[in-house]
Amino acid sequence: MAAGSYVEPSYERDTRYIPDRITRDGSDGWPVEPGRYRLVAARACPWASRAIMVRRLLGLEDVISLGLCGPTHDADSWTFDLDPGGVDPVLGIPRLKDAYEKRFPSYPRGITVPAIVDVLSGQVVTNDFARMTLDFATEWTDYQRAGAPDLWPVDLREEMAPVMRRVYTEVNNGVYRCGFAGTQEAYDAAYGRLFTALDWLEDRLTTRRYLMGEHLTCADVRLLTTLVRFDPVYHGHFKCNRQKLDEFPVLWAYARDLFQTPGFGDTVDFVQIKQHYYRVHRDINPTGIVPLGPDLTNWCEPSGREALGGSPFGHGTAPGEIAPAERVPQAHNPAVGPDGELIVTQRIR
């Protein structure tokens, strides 16, 4: 997600990301190397949240360090407001923009998270959020934890590609088309597309526990980051209000099932999510008032989805304990305990 304002007649996301990849063979000049790279993210941002989730699911925490920006930013850059002195302790910079401009002076596009920064040079490597998580799953396998799930299985990729494309264009980005529409006509069209896609997902998930069947994949990660924001933000702030997520019987149960699985809900910070959208988007919320609701304790209710069979991690296992520095505060998520672990974890089968 980039810093800045978005409103225009019909919202179009700038998808011109830095295309470099970190690979085993280092073909783009960036070889896989433990400890060399820092993932800069923000828990408020859905695109960054998927990178945080995948990194935890695969057990890459000790291999790729994590820098967290605060939930709000100005029009210039995401900033390290959560760190002492407002400076990232590893990169030594106050603004993510500094890493972008270290490599590309006067970088012409938005300063987005997630971004991966080369700690050695202080330069941004990539901000291509979609490719980033797929590379975590495929290029970093030598350093993944024992029992890491296969989030991008070869035998499902052909089927997964159009599913993930539709989730991205119609749901992940669809809520933004509603929220940042500048005309009634643009909003009406965006609203129709979004709920058509949500109805399709409701139907698809009726007979399968996860988007691709019996086990979770990258597709589920991509969808959940939008679903957790739907009732707290998108329903009201973005006018995606045909119905709330908890009024979709299947999607709501699916979302709770994932949320209560280690690696998902334990990375979600609802307070930062609301602070970001309601305080940063002054063009659609001029007062900057952050709503107190909704009541989010319903995320702790059993989903019943285990009756469909399958298991989240396939032949793998759940991720381990969260490092103290990466725990979501208990007051920011009703499903986590004082140690940062989920207190309502789905039974792993």
Residues carrying an active site annotation:
45, 176
Q: Where are the beta strands (DSSP E) in the chain?
A: 37-41, 65-68, 115-118, 123-126
- Measure the CA–CA gap between 288 and 233, rounded to whole angstroms: 13
- Measure the CA–CA gap between 99 and 121, rounded to whole angstroms: 9
- Measure the CA–CA gap between 231 and 195, rounded to whole angstroms: 14
First-to-last CA distance in the chain? 35
Task: List the one residue out of 74, 120, 77 whose CA is nearest residue 97.
Answer: 77
Cβ-based neighbours of 142, under 8 Å, separated by 6 or more: 24, 32
Q: Write phi, then psi, for 86 (nearest 5 degrees).
A: 70, 25
DSSP 58-97: TT-TTTSEEEE--S---SS--B-TTSGGGS-TTT--SBHH
- Residue 30 annotated as part of some ligand binding site: no
* Residues making up the binding site for glutathione: 78
* Residues making up the binding site: 78
